[in-house]
Structure 1
Amino acid sequence: MNKAKFLIVTSLVLIALVYSCTKDNLPEENPLTKLEILVRQPWQVDEVMSNVGCKNLHFVRGEINNTGVDYSNFRLTFKVDGTGTYTNETGVTYTTTWEFTSADQHNMKLLVNSSTPQIFIWNMVEISKTSFQSITALDKLSILQSTRYVPVP
């Protein structure tokens, strides 16, 4: 009887070990860097939360929009050489230059080469395979904005 219990317990432990070591649980052999993730695909706005003049505004692609701006057309591309493109909410595309402004790559600067150049200073940038997020303070306009970008399907 003890031998049967031992075999059952041993079998259960082995099964648990096999299923706990699936490919999903193993660390990546060569994880992508933030730069590699950023430049591998175009990005679109998925969610924007803004505070403008003490009023909270919210956009979620395909669901909510009380911002007064339709971000559905908005796109960004980044290239390794520090250039890229910016497509605004009306669908007009401009060239850009960009750079990380901190060694830990949590801060970025984006210059949009439109007729009136726009400079975006992004703080607290977080980049993953599925999204990148930024927080921007537009002091002159008293706007604080958090934006999440996702890869264009």
Structure 2
Amino acid sequence: MSQPVPPPSGNPFAGAQYAPAPPPAPVRDNVGLGLATAVVVALIAGGVYGAIAGSIEREIGWAAVGVGFLVGFATGKVGGRNTVLPVVSIICSLVAVYLGQLLSVAMIAADLTNASVTEILVEDFDLVTSAWNESKDAMTFLFFALAGIAAFSGAKKAGE
């Protein structure tokens, strides 16, 4: 029985066939779609945040973080690495948390007055904003900060 003869280079793998390396992942750089995603996700997340806060009649810090991270992550995943998207994510998440807080104030007012939330938001929006303005405290701004930080980090992480 004869032994196989190694190739002349001395490398036993010199003649082996390997599959080619996969092509690199396509670059996601769709700023327009990322911006649209930021707005849509912010509106949905803000509504959910407001509904939760209004139904339990208090704000929740981790929910604000969730709003920010969700907005940022979705924006980065869809829009890619563009440097504008983390900043837009911050702005949209701050607006989402603010709108959510206004919705929670309107829900609480609707419970107290036996009116619909829509009626209060449409007809008494100035009262809703003044009630929010009177009820804001340091925690309100902490929730804004947490949402902004989560949005920025979510957008950066998803855009990688």
Bigger radius of gyration, 1 or 2?
2
The structure where strand makes up a greater share of residues is: 1
Larger RCO (alpha carbons 8 Å, 6+ apart): 2
The structure where helix makes up a greater share of residues is: 2
TM-score normalised by L of structure 1:
0.30
TM-score normalised by L of structure 2:
0.29
